[in-house]
Amino acid sequence: MTTTQGAAGTGTANRTGLYLAGLQLVFTLGWTTYVVYLPKLAAEVGIAPSAVILILMLDQAIFTIADTAMGIAADKLAPHVGRLGLFVALVSAISCGAFVALPFVAAAGAAAQGWFIALIVIWSITSSALRAPPLTLLGKYRAKPQVPFLAALAMLGYGIAGAVSPYLGVVLREHDARLPFVISSAVLLLTALGMSRIEHDVARDTVPPAPDERAKPLGLVPIAFIVAMIALALGYQLHFAMNSAPSYLRFAAPGDLQWLMPVFWIGFNIAMFPASLVVKHRGGLVVMGVAGLFGAVAIAAAEFAGNLNTLIAAQFLAGAAWGCMLMSAVSAALAIGSTGAEGKVTGLVFSALALGTFARMAAVAGGLQKMPEYAPPLHWAPVACWSVAGAGLLVIAAARLQGRSGLKASAGE
């Protein structure tokens, strides 16, 4: 490859990463819009406020299945340039159509309750096409040394959305739902329509995968990796979504939460890029394991914090650890699935995230956080999840490294 070709490939790679970041940003902000307005829309069709959490749990249950299914579909389509982009665009059009219709159908009242639920189910299933399938481009076409940095870029959109979500919730709460739903869907659809162009660009600059490539069955390492990912996702959900706000309220007023909660995401966004350099040389499993142990210490520090400044620092470090874990998880998934199962393993990562969210919502629905006897376990469960998963991932990484060394020795290298 000439210098000019190399520069062009790097430019295309960066555009791919930025595109994926934009896609994750727009999708996650759309999810935030949905969560903000769901109680109001549900009330319009006669759904009790207590049932809203059950609808959100239904969403996550669907994501748990659909994310992996969409990843498998991406593996089948990716060898044929153009088909993956077309698939994502078509499914996104269905998703955005269902999303836009929600506030308009809700305005019809209780008679439209069945249609309202049906639209939510359609939107939940089809929106999974916007997570794992686009990320498979990194594993199918990009050179391995580029993947960690591009994964960090892709997850940057997720992190930025997490940081601005508290402000978005405050801004949207008093406005009519129809305009935000239309705007977010239009922007998301336009972004998804760019998938075909990005797919053709990366295929032009790299050697495409062979059409007859077949994914091999997943072994013990991928299964252990996904189990660890579920533990990490559960730890994140319990720490950030359940424990962070009450921790801040020990030292701050409720009105300050919109300024304090994004601290976690600031750490998330900053840490991913230097960590991607380590992933490039040491592998995603190692960084995930170390970040899990480091994050467990940060969460423990947040629990023991005696003042607001210490808590802010601990939350920043916990967010940095989660950023390293998530970026490394995408990189590791693409590496583990490099036999033609990139989409499947990446889809399993997103399914693990959805399962962690489902478990946290189930805990909230069950009122566990209001029961004094469950308060200590809920506060320390994130530490246990991250430390056990982190240690397990390091064991897996060491075993893989030892296995490679054994193969080299047997080959006489």
Q: Can you tell me the mean pLDDT for 336-355?
A: 89
CATH of the domain at 163: 1.20.1250.20
Tell me the residue type at 311: L
Residue 131 placed within a domain: yes
Which of 163, 178, 22, 43 minimizes the C-alpha distance to 99?
A: 178
Q: What is the pLDDT of residue 1?
A: 41
Asked if 124 and 58 count as a contact pair (C-beta separation under 8 A), the reply is yes
Among 166, 196, 213, residue at a domain's last position = 213
- In 3D, which of 363, 401, 380, 354 has the Cα closest to residue 132? 354
Range of the domain at 137: 10-213
The confidence score (pLDDT) of residue 401 equals 74
The contacts of residue 344 (CB under 8 Å, 6+ apart) are 68, 71, 72, 75, 215, 218, 337
**CB distance 248 to 307 below 8 Å:** no
| Confidence (pTM) | 0.88
C-alpha torsion angle, residues 103, 107, 108, 112 (rounded to 10): 40
Q: How many helices (H) and strands (E) does the chain have?
A: 16, 0
pLDDT in tens, 200-216: 776 666 655 554 444 45
Are residues 169 and 252 part of one domain? no
Percent helix, percent strand, percent coil in the chain, to nearest 5:
85, 0, 15
Question: Same domain, yes or no, for 153 and 261?
Answer: no
Domain count of the chain? 2
345 lies in some domain:
no
Residue with tokens 């629905």: 365
Per-residue pLDDT, 51:
93
Residue 346 lies in a domain: no
CA 330/CA 90 separation, integer angstroms: 25
332, 388: one domain: yes
The answer to whether residue 5 is domain-embedded is no
Is 70 exceeded by the pLDDT of residue 102? yes
- The pLDDT of residue 257 is above 70: yes
Assigned domain for 312 exists? yes
Are both 237 and 301 inside the same structural domain? Answer: yes
Inform me whether the pLDDT recorded for 307 exceeds 50.
yes
Same-domain check for residues 250 and 399: yes
Q: How far is CA 336 from CA 125, 178, 205, 226, 379, in A?
A: 25, 42, 23, 11, 33
CA distance 89 to 195: 7
Calpha distance 139→375 (Å, rounded): 42
Whether residues 152 and 257 share a domain: the answer is no
376 part of a folded domain: yes
